Structure 1
Amino acid sequence: MQNKLKIINDPVHGFIKIPHEILFDIIEHPYFQRLRRISQTGLLSLIFPGAKHTRFHHALGAMNLMFKALETLKLKGVKVSKEEEKAAMLAILLHDIGHGPFSHALENMLMDDWHHEKISILLMNRLNKEFKGKLDLAIEMFQGKYHRPFFNQLISSQLDVDRMDYLKRDSFYTGVSEGSVNVERIISMMNVSDEKLVIDAKGIYSIENYLTARMFMYWQVYYHKTAALGEHILVQILNRAKYLVSKNFDLEAPSNLKYFLVKNKFDEATEEDIRRFTMLDDMDVFQAIKVWTENEDFILSKLCRTVIYREFPKSIISSKPFSEDFLKQKVEKVNQYFNIKNGEELVGQISRSLLPYDTEKQPIYLMDKTGQTMKLEESENQILFGCMENATKKYIIYFPREIL
């Protein structure tokens, strides 16, 4: 009989335990193995060369942090059954199972408005059927419906193990130390009050550091102007490809990607939709983009060369939106320079906004030694909160460098 209680060596967290056999079975399943071929951070490696890690890495890391969090809570007297522990670990292990190629970049592109969480729950239900109902409780927790809210909060909230892993992991692989989070300290400060997740009051500065680290990672890494532009260009490429296919252009592409370029209606996912989606990954999209660099359609080939040869357009970032006249001037110059009529395909403005901490949506609670709880922003000991309760927004304009 195969030993399924294995240990995995992870460069971020060290040794990761697999304490339940069903976790091993899920990890070995083709749906989960596909995550090895889905980038955690899209095209971020074009800016931070080390950012080559995958959703597979991240899911294992988040599962590990869930295990550690539950161990901490049990030591503090919180009753957690073996079935609850197993379910919580399964839920977080599978939370990204529905991601398509390049993670968030192509969200909604391939299957209309099918958000990755919608696909995740669909695939979880299929796995649950395959495993004869063993994922019932995990699915309940993933959907935030379990009667003990702290389980739901550990899976999805402003202080969940998903965020803690991706911040620490992305910081490690990008080399951006500002995003490094002391997850061990945060987990050691976790507690439960009235079945809700709280943080021991003395851990307030670790929480503030976590929130500021997340803010720095967004503006320095995820919303870096070239990173944001790379993500946008991926969408532009797929948009252009779908447009050309709709006009009966015969675009060469791997069969699973071609399927989604041709099909437009996904009201209900069919068996074929699911089969194709679960075989689709970054490699299919990258292979197509490589081929399309030589395509006769000027816009498509130009966009694809941006990715393959890292020929990024000129970009300018500002805290204020650029005027329509400014954009129009750039489009006219592009049309003139390349002798085309659709220069607006190569010029554009995108924006990114961030609210570091939402005081209304699942606020973080602190608990003092007497057992009294208060919101993070209500603590007289907080020192950084003032810079985190307001949203900030940046605008990025881009245009071909040839017209400079």
Structure 2
Amino acid sequence: MSQTNKLKIFNDPIYGFITIPNAFIYDLIQHPYFQRLRRISQMGMSYLVYPGAHHTRFHHALGCMHIMQKAVQTLQFKGVSISVEEEEALYIAILLHDIGHGPFSHAMEHSIVEEVHHEQLSLLFMEQLNREFDGKLDLAIQVFKGVYPRKFMLQLISSQLDMDRMDYLKRDSFYSGVAEGNINSDRLIQMMHVKDDVLVIEEKGIYSVEKFLVARRLMYWQAYLHKTSVVAELILTKILKRAKELSQNGIELPCSVSLQFFMTHKIALSDFDAVTLNNFSHLDDYDIMGAIKAWQFHDDYVLQNLCRMVLNRDLLKIQITEDKQDKSEIQALKNKFMNLASLSEKEADYFVFKGKLKNQAYSKSSAPIYILKKDNSIEDVVEASDQMYLKALSKEVTKYYVCFPKVVLGI
């Protein structure tokens, strides 16, 4: 009987051919937990702004694994000792780093389950896979959790210059068409080294790091925090909030079994037993969009109209300002809409609300990016660079928004 060839290749539009390192990683990719990532969008609702942004977490995870292979090869070539077991652990950890994402990625991170980050769910999935594969993920989990003694390995997976960020900037730039986000990941990887167990960039690669940080800032304001993407994702969370409210008041809403489970239960991290994790593993974008298509015909004014906004891209108006909006102005908008639509204040809260957006391209206090200088010393990139704008990039920028129906302005 012929056996499946597990050393397959993927044809990727960003990197060309991506090879699967070994048969075990092929088995992980084939697992239903990982295949679910084909049905989780990488950029949430950004396709409403950039029509090409329909790529998935599956794309991204494979891309991360590919450039991790390049990084390992580069470091080994420079004399950094990485064993076969450590190498496989790095590939597994980066491949599965996003496996805990729910529908539409970050858009619904705290809507499906209460205050649970996708990294925590990724770890739960990895631990479950470890049980299924008889402990083969032990080392990968240690690296992912940051408890493995060789700290530079965690930096390759989660830091301010990790494989995750390198891939999503390059990939999201490509699929969205936002050219300003494109980075030279090959150059960055070739400049990597390890000094005293710290991942560093050789001094001649400093300009590539500067470009990386600027690209990250531009991608956030131009793509990830684009006002249309922001308001669409906010509406998405409001839809689920309203649906949960109705469900918990005994009103039956048509949706998938897995989505129904999370609509009728308040789930925190401590509630994630095998049954809950299994239900979460069946959730993807299709559950949400299928439900929204059904709910647009529901009798509830709030649910019906919010769903139609997303489906027809007829969204709430969003105004973004440098300063906080006056509470009285927001209340006036709410009162006007309450009168126009004959809604209670609680119902109007779904249509008129405020919040804030934060963006910080680089943080000096959070695992800095170190430059390896010619004298063998290391220095924070902001101090090593002669570009004053890097200091500005390390400051957090906060903007404020208010959302409301266009009808309030007579649009």
For 2:323, give the aligned amino acid: K
1:315 corresponds to: 318
Q: 1:399 aligns with which of 386, 401, 404?
A: 404
1:106 deviates by: 1.0
Per the alignment, residue 293 of structure 1 pairs with 296
1:202 matches 2:204? yes
Within the candidate set 17, 20, 23, 1:21 is matched to 23
**8 Å Cα contact 1:101/1:282 also seen in 2:** yes
Distance (whole Å) between structure 2 residues aligned to residue 397 and residue 384 of structure 1? 30
**Do 2:323 and 2:400's aligned partners in 1 also have CA atoms closer than 8 Å?**
yes
2:184 to 169, 182, 186: 182
Which of the residues 278, 302, 306 maps onto 1:303?
A: 306
Amino acid in structure 2 at the alignment position of 1:355: Q
* Match in the other structure for 1:235: 237
Q: Indicate yes or no: 2:338 matched with 1:335.
A: yes
Aligned mates of 2:49, 2:182 — CA distance in 1: 18
Once the two structures are superposed, residues 25-52 of structure 1 have per-residue CA deviations (whole angstroms, 9 ceiling, x without a partner) of 1000000000000111111101110000
Measured in 1, the distance between the counterparts of 2:176 and 2:359 equals 20
SS at match of 1:123: helix
Provide the residue aligned with 1:356 in structure 2: 361
Aligned 8 A contact 1:204 1:382 in 2: no
Distance 2:160 2:227 in 1: 25
Distance 1:125 1:30 in 2: 15
Task: Give distance in 2, aligned partners of 1:296 and 1:249.
Answer: 11
- The answer to whether the Cα contact below 8 Å between 1:315 and 1:398 also exists between their aligned partners in 2 is yes
Give the RMSD, CA atoms, in angstroms: 1.1
**Please, which of 271, 279, 287 is the counterpart of residue 284 of structure 1?**
287
Residues 43 and 231 of structure 1 are in contact (CA less than 8 Å); yes or no, is this contact kept in structure 2?
yes
In structure 2, what is the equivalent of residue 109 of structure 1?
111
Cα deviation for residue 332 of structure 1 reads 0.9
Cα deviation for residue 380 of structure 1 reads 5.1
- Confirm or deny that 1:344 pairs with 2:349: yes
| Paired position in structure 2 for 1:3 | 5
CA-CA distance at 1:2 after TM superposition: 2.4
Assess if the C-alpha contact under 8 Å between 1:8 and 1:15 holds in 2: yes
- Output the CA distance in 1 between the equivalents of 2:62 and 2:89: 15
**Contact map agreement 1:208 1:384 (CA 8 A) in 2:** no
What's the offset of the Cα at 1:265? 4.1
User: What is the match of residue 148 of structure 1?
Assistant: 150
What is the number of equivalent residue pairs in this alignment?
404
AA at the equivalent of 1:314: K
Shift in Å, 1:268:
2.6
Amino acid aligned to 2:17: F
> How big is the shift at 1:255?
1.4
TM-score between both structures, scaled by the size of structure 1: 0.98
Contact 1:353 1:392 in 2 (8 A): yes
In 1, are the aligned partners of 2:206 and 2:385 still within 8 Å (CA)?
no
Matched, 1:386 2:403: no
Structure 2 counterpart of 1:52, one-letter code: H
Q: Distance in 2 between matches of 1:194 and 1:347?
A: 53
**Amino acid corresponding to residue 294 of structure 1 in structure 2:** F
Identity %: 47
| CA distance, structure 1, for counterparts of residue 9 and residue 248 of structure 2 | 49
Q: Which amino acid aligns with 1:347?
A: V
Quote the residue 2:127 is aligned against: 125
Hey, what does 2:58 align to over in structure 1? Answer: 56
Residue ranges of structure 2 left out of the alignment (5+ in a row): none
Distance 1:383 1:16, change over 3 A: farther
Q: Read off the aligned partner of 2:408 and give its amino acid letter.
A: I
Is 2:373 the counterpart of 1:373?
A: no
| SS across alignment from 1:197 | strand
Q: CA deviation at 1:313?
A: 1.4
Q: Match of 2:167, SS?
A: helix
One-letter amino acid of the counterpart of residue 305, structure 2: K
Q: Read off the aligned partner of 2:233 and give its amino acid letter.
A: E
Secondary structure, aligned partner of 2:276: helix
Any conservation in 1 of the 2:143–2:154 contact (CA below 8 Å)? yes
Classify the secondary structure of the residue corresponding to 1:393: strand
In 2, Cα distance between equivalents of 1:225 and 1:250: 33
Q: Which amino acid in the other structure matches residue 155 of structure 2?
A: Q
d(CA) in 2 for partners of 1:46 and 1:125?
36
Greater shift in the superposed pair: 107-116 or 161-170: 107-116
Q: Deviations over 1:198-223 (max 9, x none)?
A: 00011111001100100000011111
Amino acid at match of 1:344: D
Displacement after TM superposition at 1:114 (Å): 2.1
Q: CA deviation at 1:20?
A: 1.6
Task: Describe how 1:52-91 pairs up with structure 2 within 5 A.
Answer: 52-91=54-93
CA offset digits 1:72-94 (Å, max 9, x no partner) = 11111111111111100000000
User: Within 2, Cα distance between the matches of 1:205 and 1:189?
Assistant: 11
CA contact (8 A) 1:205 1:382 kept: no
Alignment deviations for residues 376-397 of structure 1 (CA, whole Å, 9 cap, x no partner): 1221534531221211111121
CA apart distance, 1:299: 0.6
Please report how far the alpha carbon of residue 183 of structure 1 lies from its aligned counterpart in structure 2 after TM superposition.
0.3
Could you say which residue in structure 2 is the equivalent of 1:273? Answer: 276
CA distance in 2, matches of 1:121, 1:389: 30
